[in-house]
Structure 1
Amino acid sequence: MDIDLSGWREHKLGGLMGAVGPLFSKKVDGGWQYGLVASDNHLNAAGLVHGGTITALLDQALSALAWHHAGKTPCVTVQLNSSFLDAARCGELLIATGRVVRATRSMVFMVGEVMVEECTIATCQGIFKIVREP
């Protein structure tokens, strides 16, 4: 499968996402999308994209959106609840999106989803703590 990544920006991150990535981002309709092209390294024993890969993508995407919402202040995940609705396969572009449902001075409450083409394969709800300097 040939994936068209024109319009996407590649991010070479450190840590876990550096091992999972590369991660891509694109601004669409005033919001952000985060993408990951599934490779052999992302598969489980059944030959499908591992749920941990999908969860890591959701966590990274929602964390980045929370960071932006909090005025580019670091945010850490407090809770992330994921539901898997369908499978993804090697060679597919997984696209994560999210939105803020509510924010307080110290917390950001969000929902997100991962899609492959027009199919939602996972949804989640997340809570992120804004980490402010003491």
Structure 2
Amino acid sequence: MTQDHQEKSPPPGFVQSHTRGPFSTHNGPFFHKVEGDQFWHGLYIAERHCNSRGRLHGGMMTTFADGLMATAVARANKITAVTISLNCDICSAADIGDWLEGTARQIGLNDGIAYVEAEAWVGGKTIFTASGVFRLLEGKAARKN
């Protein structure tokens, strides 16, 4: 296994995501799982995702939260959206090698503005919760995962 855990298999049902932009691809690898209307994203925490104390960096948490919420909006509306506002509440720490998993859901839509909530966890421990506001981009087809 490499230091970045790239050879470690994800939990059952998760597959590696290949439709992300350059920033997310650089910070991955990310994984996803879809069951009906529900989805989850996952990531093995690597050293490059951490702060100087070896704990998951808050910036990486917000990156993960943004991806979760953008996916929820895209799945709910079948079009792409951009982030207007993102708030991330850090609840606990996560360490190198931990499997970070999360999901999100759109909770409202008004005049092309979507409102979203997300959460992520390691095992049964909540690492962060997040909320966001997204503007739908008319005519921009959404990616599926």
TM-score by length of 2: 0.84
Are the counterparts in 1 of residues 102 and 121 from structure 2 also a CA contact under 8 Å? Answer: yes
SS in 2 for 1:56: helix
Once residues 138 and 117 of structure 2 are traced to their aligned partners in structure 1, the CA distance between those partners, rounded to angstroms, is 23
Deviation at residue 49 of structure 1 after TM alignment? 0.8
Runs of 4 or more consecutive aligned structure 1 residues displaced over 3 Å after TM superposition? 1-4
CA contact 2:69–2:132 (8 Å) conserved in 1: yes
Residue of structure 2 in register with 1:35 after alignment: 42
Does residue 57 of the first structure (1) align with residue 64 of the second (2)? Answer: yes
Corresponding residue SS for 2:138: coil
| Residues 3 and 93 in structure 1, CA contact (< 8 A), matched pair in contact too | no
- Which letter maps to 1:108? A
In structure 1, C-alpha distance between the alignment counterparts of 2:21 and 2:106, rounded to whole Å: 26
In structure 1, distance between residues paired with 2:10 and 2:66: 24
Q: How far 1:4 moved relative to its partner?
A: 4.5
CA distance in 1, matches of 2:9, 2:53: 23
Give the partner amino acid of 1:41.
R
Report if the CA contact (8 A) 1:3-1:92 is conserved: no
Rounded to whole Å, the distance in 2 between the matches of 1:9 and 1:119 is 23
Q: Residue 117 of structure 2 corresponds to which residue in structure 1?
A: 111
Number of aligned pairs? 132
Gap change, CA 1:33 and 1:121, over 3 Å in 2: same
For 1:110 and 1:39, the matched residues in 2 are separated by 27
1:23 and 2:30 equivalent? Answer: yes
| In structure 1, C-alpha distance between the alignment counterparts of 2:39 and 2:65, rounded to whole Å | 13
- Please give the root-mean-square deviation of Cα atoms over the aligned residues, in Å: 1.7
User: Counterpart of 2:142?
Assistant: none
Q: TM-score, normalised by structure 1?
A: 0.91
- Post-superposition Cα deviations, 1:60-97, rounded to whole Å, max 9, x if no partner, equal 111011011112x1100000001001001000111121
Structure 1 residue 100: deviation in Å? 1.2
The percentage of aligned residue pairs carrying the same residue is: 25
